[in-house]
Structure 1
């Protein structure tokens, strides 16, 4: 059966960061555990190598040229992306997020067993939305990786032909600027090209899976809030003991509040990183976009900016939906005919209405709430950063 976690689970298994059993066969589970260790050790070494190489490029560049500055900006953009991905990969395997995933599995089963067509229809729409967003991120990421490989291949061939024709020794760059300790990059070029291509695959798997699970959790929060709204509006239908029914809904409301608070604790610092780093990345892409000289470089910038925009606005939209649905709880209680209830029931409903006046929301670190307006602010900040960087670059 298709669930809201199906796509995210597949991505996390492929990336080696799914911390639940993937099979009932112990031998296969051991193999997966070994695969998980290998892929994450590789990612850690990869990120450290990128940091060292970027530091070398920054320190040794005394007389920057256009090519060296473009290389530095590209290396910085990739480094930011991989640092954030590495942090997200670690958080995906922590106990708080595992508890959130367990809650989603349990509550989704309850939604499926509710039998209410309005609840099921809304949840199906949320599953469809989750698929569309995550597939969009996957397509843009895969296209970006493919464009990076093809663009780098053409660049290496053209530089190789230039070196042969002019008997020069211009360095041929790889897709990712990595630090190779005591390795002759020209003699080991074929092996390093394969290593870079494998690194692109790891980047796609990790980048998509770590982003996917957080978006899925945020989207699911809207489903449980909507289900609670429907139950509150329809609680009078077939209820013999209204107080017992409402007490159950109060407990369910408390569980939802705890879930969203736990989710916020798990993602608020990532929201803060995404808020600033996405703005910086978009600014870097703007600069690289203007400096693109080939079709593949232009395509890489388009795919990178497309991926970033999908993530930025998906985070804003889905986070905003949590706030909207939590505010709708008070309206749902009002529409349930609260004024016709016994006094004990009205008191419970009054308490729920008061609690619903403080809408649930995901925050950007300890600061403001994440909403559509926050996404627009990120884009404005990216434009500001990009303008400043371009002015400085043109002066130099």
Structure 2
């Protein structure tokens, strides 16, 4: 990848994983050496499959407004449709903000410190990177396993009932779509449509996961940089104005990068928060009204796959807020009283700026913290209780 050779490996390695996921759906933040024909063939294949899939899904979604579906069927359709729209909108933001994302990665990577660190700083940095790596592994594998379970469950049920139990049953597809032909008319057509829906949905999953964790990783790296600066302030000797100016300059750059990151992803966060309650609510309702253990398990897995990235986002948003605000506490614990007046004034500016913590927001309005996570879950539970009451009333 271009321009990344001078960036420390520990910084760029988790970001590469996200960029690779985005490249699976033809979203290239950085130019990659690949045959032009293959790149455009891959892009065309992904775009055509997604367009056809979304048209078919939208046509079936129209049945909801005609009132031809029961509430449990509506829950199944709405949840998949909302997640698909959410992933596509997030991918569009990444494509439109590609240059801004490159600037953030390069500037933050150039500031990433691997030398002249104390033992405490090294331990804190390694602990935060280890935690991030663990979060990514859990996030990725739960989403992958949950997605494969959700997609393969109808096929396994169909094969089991047809060939093991010898029952007459319809051929089940992973997602409800309207096609100009009968997709279950014969086995060849059924398998073809099944592969098509699986391929299209995984383009959506890759864009969803890649965008989500790219935002989380950059937020984590910013929080780590603030924490290292806190240790610098604790250890600086009073009167060392040259090093204090370096800390102030680094502090200002991190504040600017946080604002740039928020400018890029505030709309993605808004999409997350507005759609999470709907999708989690309806997946939960689908799990409650499911007939059988397998459909129930697949919908519970879908709920977990949606809650986990939301928690990670709010957790690292809280960490960023606390680490930026903690600069003031580090100044307070520094022996500032031993320095001259100029030294104390420079520290005073750091304290004043830290009174307004850096944070990610939803459309510049609501800061993202762990309180946001509890609020979303509380709202989701209210919607779920209402939908459950309506379903029980209909039953």
Residue matched to 1:251: 249
Distance 1:190 1:102 in 2: 45
Contact 1:15 1:39 in 2 (8 A): no
Residue 10 of structure 2 aligns to a residue whose secondary structure is coil
TM (normalized to structure 2)?
0.86
Distance 1:309 1:131, change over 3 A: same
Residue matched to 1:177: 176
Counterparts of residues 371-390 of structure 1 (less than 5 Å): 371-390=369-388
- Please say if 1:58 is aligned against 2:59: no
Residue matched to 1:236: 237
Contact 1:243 1:345 in 2 (8 A): yes
Distance 1:150 1:392 in 2: 30
Structure 1 residue runs of 5 or longer lacking an equivalent are none
- Structure 1 residue aligned with 2:13, among 6, 9, 23? 6
Q: Mean Cα displacement is larger for which, 91-100 or 224-233?
A: 91-100
Distance 1:70 1:212 in 2: 31
Distance 1:270 1:51 in 2: 22
Distance 2:339 2:272 in 1: 47
Q: Deviations over 1:61-106 (max 9, x none)?
A: 43x44xxx43332121111112111122222232222222222322
Residue matched to 1:78: 80
State the superposition RMSD in angstroms. 2.7
Contact 1:5 1:216 in 2 (8 A): no
TM (normalized to structure 1)?
0.86
Q: Mean Cα displacement is larger for which, 303-312 or 201-210?
A: 201-210
Residue matched to 1:99: 103
Residue matched to 1:359: 357
Residue 175 of structure 1 aligns to a residue whose secondary structure is coil
Distance 1:40 1:13 in 2: 18
C-alpha displacement at 1:231, in angstroms? 1.6
Residue matched to 1:47: 54
Q: Deviations over 1:162-189 (max 9, x none)?
A: xx977xxx86441122332456542421
Distance 2:124 2:44 in 1: 38
Distance 1:54 1:266 in 2: 31
C-alpha displacement at 1:200, in angstroms? 4.2
Structure 2 residue runs of 5 or longer lacking an equivalent are 1-7
Contact 1:150 1:296 in 2 (8 A): no
C-alpha displacement at 1:333, in angstroms? 1.3
